[in-house]
Each structure stands twice: as C-alpha cells, then as structure tokens.
Amino acid sequence: MRYSKSIYLFFLPGLLLFAVFFLLPLAETVFYSFTSWDGYTVNPPFTGLKNYTRLIVNDSIFHQSFWNNAKFMLFTVILQTVLSLILALYLLKNSKASIFFRALFFFPTILSSVAVAFLWSFVYDPSLGLLNQLLKAIHLDFLALNWIGDPKGAIFSLAFVQVWSHIGQMIVLFVAGMQAIPAELYESAALEGGSKWDIFKKITWPLLAPTTTIVVAYTTIQSFKAFDLIFAMTRGGPNYSTEILSTFIYHAAFENYQFGYASAASVLFMILIGVLTFIQFKLLRSNNVTY
C-alpha cells in the first residue's frame, strides 16, 4: 500500500516541539559548558575544558555530591525493588483486600514531592516528630535520632522517603508483570511437586526480567531526579551531606551565577545517567526473554 508523502507532515509538530524543547536546550547547555557564562553576558568568554577539569579534579563538593547520589541511588534501587516485589507477591490476587492495599500504597505517588517533603519533615522532626515520639512510646528511646540533621545518616533518611513515595508504582508494575505470566506454567509446576520457592525461582523471577529491568531503570532515573524532595527537606545540608548532583547544579547556577560551570555539571550528569541506564539494561536483560 502506498502512502502520500504528505503523511510525513503529521510528524512535523512533534518533531518541532522535540527540537525546540529538547534538542535546542541540549545544544545550548553543551555550548555554555565550555564558557564562563554568568547567566546574562551576551558573549561569554570561551574557557574550553576548564569547567570539566575543575569539576572532575578539583571540586570536592561535586565529588561529595556524586557519592551522595550513588548512596542515595543504591539504597533506593535495592530497597524499592525488593520491597515492591515482595508486596506484589502478596497483593497479586484481585481480591478486595489486595486492590485496597494496592491503592493505599499507590496513594503517595499522586502527591507532589514538595508535599511529601513537608510531611516527612514533620515525621523526622527530632523534638516533636511522629517517628521519635513513636519510638519513645514503645520504650525504644535509644533509637530516636535527628534523622535529617545527622550528616552520617541524613542521605539514607531521605532515600527512605523516596522509596515510600514511589513504591506503589513499582508494585503495580510487578503485579502486572506477574499477571501476564501464563497460569499453565504454574499449574504444571504444581503438578510436578514444585515448592513455592522453586516456582518463584524458575518461573516467576526469570519471566519478570523485563519488568525488573523497567523498575530498576526507572528507580535509578528517579533517584537522580530527586531534586525537589531533597531541596525542600534539607537544601543539600547539613554540611553538604545530602547534596546530590541536581542540587549541586542548582546552587552553582541560581545561587552562585556560574551557569557555564553548572552546564558542564549538567552534561556530566546526563552522561552518567545514560551510562548507568545502558549498563543496567545490559546486566538485567534476560537471554531467554524477548523484549
């Protein structure tokens, strides 16, 4: 069947929007990363690789932001993937109770990150916070901490909030993935006397490879985009202990007016996310599953 060439005109609006709102800003960011642009100078001085050299070699705050982001990402990816998978296994059946709890876990997802941040700032408050008050009520006072005020553990407290606010999405994905597995496979395994663990290990887990890849990749990207949550709760403090790459870029650009420097950090940030996502897809992709 032949189509008129005019059909390609239907792609133009989408391509135009993509070029204006993605390709053009991307090109400008890369260009300004080689300058010392301050945000308003028309012809900023060209500095070559100076911004990148300073970031990679000399900027200790950037290095700390990178490692904070790594810790935040690993904690979030591991805990969120494991918990959402376990909960999905228990909420797999379409009973009224399962549907209710799926909706309950999904509810935080529809809240804005800023609302979640203010809610958990109250929960984590060292004096009047719900968490410490609960620990004191059950005589576990020794576990009460300054959850987001202690530089050693603040990043993990924030990572837990990230897990709490997004785990509902991952549960829904895992439930959908498990419900797509043919029931005949489970029936055959049951007839052959397979235990629940054997069935999970040999049927459920391998056939969930595509879903797991999506969950891990999405969780990784979300952990690098947790700017609004972290900025609203700690602004990167105390003592840069919760500073991640996105908050580092914000401070460099909009507080220190080093837009060229922030652009270089943004380019490195984008490359890092691309490389991590690519590696994850390669590592998690199952040879026995067609995507």
What pLDDT does residue 162 have?
96
Closest to 207 (Cα-Cα) out of 172, 182, 190, 173: 182
C-alpha angle 118-123-128 in degrees, rounded to nearest 5 = 110
How would residue 285 be classed by pLDDT, with cut points 50, 70 and 90? low
Residue 201 lies in a domain: yes
Peptide bond before 44: cis, by omega within 30 degrees of 0?
Answer: no
Tokens of 1: 């069947």
Query: What's the CATH number where 196 sits?
Result: 1.10.3720.10
Closest to 232 (Cα-Cα) out of 121, 98, 132: 121
Residues β-bridged to residue 35: 46
How many separate domains does the chain show?
A: 1
Mean pLDDT, residues 235-245: 94
Residue 265 lies in a domain: yes
Residue 107 lies in a domain: yes
Residue 34 lies in a domain: no
Rounded to the nearest integer, the mean pLDDT of the chain is 90
- Torsion sign over Cα 257, 260, 264, 270: positive
Which pTM does this prediction carry? Answer: 0.88
Residue 205 lies in a domain: yes
C-alpha distance from residue 140 to each of 36, 145, 221 (Å) = 53, 11, 36
Cα–Cα distance, 248 to 264 (Å, whole number):
12
Residue 28 lies in a domain: no
Mean pLDDT, residues 165-170: 95
- Cα 86 from chain centre: 19
H or E segment to which residue 254 belongs = none
Cα–Cα distance, 178 to 284 (Å, whole number):
17
Tokens of 128: 């009047």
Q: pLDDT tens digits, residue range 175-206?
A: 999 999 998 888 888 888 778 888 898 899 99
What pLDDT does residue 288 have?
45
Between 289 and 193, residue with greater pLDDT = 193
For 151, the domain range is 45-284
- Torsion sign over Cα 274, 245, 224, 67: positive
Residue 276 lies in a domain: yes
Residue 3 lies in a domain: no
Cα–Cα distance, 242 to 230 (Å, whole number):
7
Kindly tell me the burial class for residue 258, based on how many C-beta atoms sit within 10 Å of its own C-beta (0-12, 13-18, 19 or more): buried
- Cα 150 from chain centre: 23
